Structure 1
């Protein structure tokens, strides 16, 4: 059995793995809590809180830490002791940008633990880590409950483990280099023992899923660019809200940090907008390229950039997910794993039929993968602010997934069909360059 540390020259800390995992996790929990506390301390230093008692601010920091990890906070009637569950007043709008902090800290801890572990002993370090992090979440939830904010201790115990455990596994896998070195299971060897048809089917479906991932990443990149353009166009309105709030330098900085924390959410909102399904900013509202209808909005600067009024050519934005699908279809062609087309060509000798059928199936499978990823993103990005009408914020996961799946699927068909022509053009250019060299 070979130490993972032998690959890096670092034996790691001479202590039991479960203890090292516990210490790594305690450090990560402390740092993430400190990051959450910094803006609260800054606002407190400028007398920005009406109630500046230490215990109040400490509970606010703990509640913010739990929200960053995805724990829903139940807003209750102050002093009544009754939950507002019937009114749906839950704060579930997660700042995904700030959720990256515990994820990255866990990624670092996972790499360090994998470096110090034997192949069959990493579970000890992971188990120690997750027990400590769950205990930290449960303790935070128990201490930070107030008359205004109720916290389910079960959620506080388990939900913070999701981003943290995911980060640790990703980090450990990155350090190990393969799953076989990480957990002792050689997936390549297992696959090699299956039949040729099974391997072809697996590689085909895996490549289709990867193409769906390529499509979503491309669509998010294009949506981010459109979001940046929209903020630039409406920058004067955003600045006007900042000036009206008159929060001062520290208050404005804290507000900006909070908005940056929700930047990934806004990117997903932009993806929903360009898909045509749109998103909501309050119950009964709708923001989409096909029409915008919103009521009064809170004084949050970034909300001033929401397009309003008639948008004559906004429907052109629906082309963006299709373009992302075109890129995914071209990528799949270059991957060279269309084994379904090869199998169909052997069974049926009519090439016009097999090429059409296999391309349509590819578009459907890739669109399905992209749609499922979109459903997950929309579900994570949306939520409730628990205030008034703002109990419904973000895109509808199902319909956003349906729109994106249809548009990406159509784009994949176009991209895969046009891919051979693009590849031929590239090959001709390479031959011309070779002739020039000669």
Structure 2
């Protein structure tokens, strides 16, 4: 897709460059940011729909006739619905609506948007549009002004990509409607705008600098909270992934039995495997909800949690064979609840190290606030991972948003507050000991000098007089001119003339006269002479 965007970028300019009176300079031929964002959004939608149309066409040829509709228009309409589903756009169907959509399908538009955002940033040359006039104050204020300008630029780039992307998605939602499925237009506009804005802003920030530079665009306290929230969330998601893999391994026989019952064939088996892989992120978030305590449901009146399992009938999807049977849970499974506290402890240390507080009371509050942010993020992920499947008993699938958010906020927040307070106390104690160490530094230097002097006792030469002539080391030789030899210097090679030749002895210099003042020598203007008899001439 990048090559296609580059061709769109260079082709019009090559044509314009041939016209008389048109400047072909690259800086002058840069497009406005909204124009580049519109081209990037259109190419992203085109490439994404082309990929999904190809996959849908393969499934249409392998599936029974009529399963995906009749004719190529139905294939394209199905691909458009998959594209909307990749952005978590819900559908209204007879008897309910569908909200349980695979999160793995979001990888395709996110990747395309990231590449398009990078191309947009290069096409508009955002770096040369940063303000050149900064306040003439302290370096910290200049850095803050440049950071604010860069953040404003990142937001503008995200909006320039997200606005046309959402409008085009609304048109796709209108085209994808049929007698069975009706996409929600509002969900399509909102989901496309948010995804394009986040990914476009991230791509633009990545163009300005490296990943470490991207974090430095944020203020110190916001950067600490962002890193702490991300670390805690990643630790809990890693725990959820381990739970899912362990459940699949322990229930591998049930998974194989469900796979054999479907009898999908080779192409159908590949598509079924791909579908389960797309739902794997949903299962990982469900595992995170299980670890945090509230668990998740797969139907009304069901619950899969560390406190117990109450299951009902589930669809014949092989991945669902890893779900546990109804009944009590072994007490050893309660140990997984300790993982959110461990994640909070790590997040609190990160918050305190990135942005230490000057007071002992503020650090635990910032650590707890990072836990609250982690709970809000976990609630958003829980809402994206679940949703209804039609109506009736499968109208409730996935974890509860508010239960997961509250549990994660309390568990991670308490542990993060305690660890942030301890880490901040250690940092302040270390800073308090620093002045004592600096006060003892002269004493240590004197002791080291005495030790060196004592080590050189008895090793000095008998004649401690300086060597005759002008001797320069390497540093002086690089910065000072070589001196001119004068007649009054001692001849250091006099000993080579023979034993009978007496060395030249310099006569003692007469004492300087204090009654003569050389007023012509002002030493380069650094000497001021005062006339002591000026008062008598007034």
Distance 2:107 2:312 in 1: 32
The 8 Å contact of residues 363 and 424 in structure 2, kept in 1 or not, is answered as no
Taking a change above 3 Å as real, the CA distance of residues 253 and 12 of structure 1, as seen in their structure-2 partners, is: farther
Residue 107 (structure 1) aligns with: 114
Residue 67 (structure 1) aligns with: 85
List aligned pairs for 1:280-429, cutoff 5 A: 280-308=297-325, 309-312=327-330, 313-335=332-354, 337-339=355-357, 342-344=358-360, 357-358=361-362, 360-413=364-417, 415-416=419-420
Q: Which of 196, 200, 206 is residue 164 of structure 1 equivalent to?
A: 196
Residue 36 (structure 1) aligns with: 52
The 8 Å contact of residues 99 and 163 in structure 1, kept in 2 or not, is answered as no
List aligned pairs for 1:171-250, cutoff 5 A: 171-177=203-209, 203-204=220-221, 206-250=223-267
Distance 2:256 2:26 in 1: 53
Residue 264 (structure 1) aligns with: 281
How far has the Cα of 1:287 moved from its partner? 0.8
How far has the Cα of 1:129 moved from its partner? 4.4
The 8 Å contact of residues 11 and 115 in structure 1, kept in 2 or not, is answered as no
Residue 349 (structure 1) aligns with: none
RMSD: 3.3
Taking a change above 3 Å as real, the CA distance of residues 278 and 210 of structure 1, as seen in their structure-2 partners, is: same
Taking a change above 3 Å as real, the CA distance of residues 114 and 267 of structure 1, as seen in their structure-2 partners, is: same
Deviates more, 1:213-222 or 1:148-157: 148-157
Distance 2:351 2:158 in 1: 36
Distance 1:400 1:102 in 2: 27
The 8 Å contact of residues 374 and 404 in structure 1, kept in 2 or not, is answered as yes
The 8 Å contact of residues 133 and 160 in structure 1, kept in 2 or not, is answered as yes
The 8 Å contact of residues 279 and 396 in structure 1, kept in 2 or not, is answered as yes
Distance 1:224 1:247 in 2: 27
Deviations 1:330-382 (A, max 9, x none): 323433x231xx335xxxxxxxxxxxx55643442222121111111112222
The 8 Å contact of residues 87 and 195 in structure 2, kept in 1 or not, is answered as yes
Number of equivalences: 372
Q: Which of 182, 195, 199 is residue 150 of structure 1 equivalent to?
A: 182
Taking a change above 3 Å as real, the CA distance of residues 374 and 155 of structure 1, as seen in their structure-2 partners, is: closer
The 8 Å contact of residues 239 and 291 in structure 2, kept in 1 or not, is answered as no
How far has the Cα of 1:145 moved from its partner? 1.1
Structure with more of its chain in helix, by fraction: 1
Distance 1:73 1:12 in 2: 46
Distance 1:149 1:230 in 2: 34
The 8 Å contact of residues 30 and 123 in structure 2, kept in 1 or not, is answered as no
TM-score w.r.t. the length of structure 2 is 0.62
Deviations 1:66-95 (A, max 9, x none): 11112211113xxxxxxx5xxxx1212232
Taking a change above 3 Å as real, the CA distance of residues 307 and 358 of structure 1, as seen in their structure-2 partners, is: farther
Taking a change above 3 Å as real, the CA distance of residues 420 and 169 of structure 1, as seen in their structure-2 partners, is: closer
- Which blocks of at least 5 consecutive residues in structure 1 are unaligned? 77-83, 189-201, 345-356, 424-438
Taking a change above 3 Å as real, the CA distance of residues 205 and 142 of structure 1, as seen in their structure-2 partners, is: closer
> Could you say which structure has the larger radius of gyration?
2
Taking a change above 3 Å as real, the CA distance of residues 215 and 130 of structure 1, as seen in their structure-2 partners, is: closer
Q: Find out whether 1:25 has 2:25 as its counterpart.
A: no
Deviates more, 1:290-299 or 1:367-376: 367-376
Q: Which of 55, 74, 85 is residue 56 of structure 1 equivalent to?
A: 74
Distance 2:113 2:412 in 1: 33
Distance 1:375 1:12 in 2: 45
How far has the Cα of 1:47 moved from its partner? 3.5
- Say which SS state the counterpart of residue 393 (structure 2) adopts: coil
Taking a change above 3 Å as real, the CA distance of residues 132 and 417 of structure 1, as seen in their structure-2 partners, is: closer
- Say which SS state the counterpart of residue 178 (structure 2) adopts: coil
Distance 2:244 2:70 in 1: 39
- Which blocks of at least 5 consecutive residues in structure 2 are unaligned? 1-8, 10-24, 131-152, 428-538
How far has the Cα of 1:56 moved from its partner? 2.6
- Say which SS state the counterpart of residue 395 (structure 2) adopts: coil
TM-score w.r.t. the length of structure 1 is 0.75
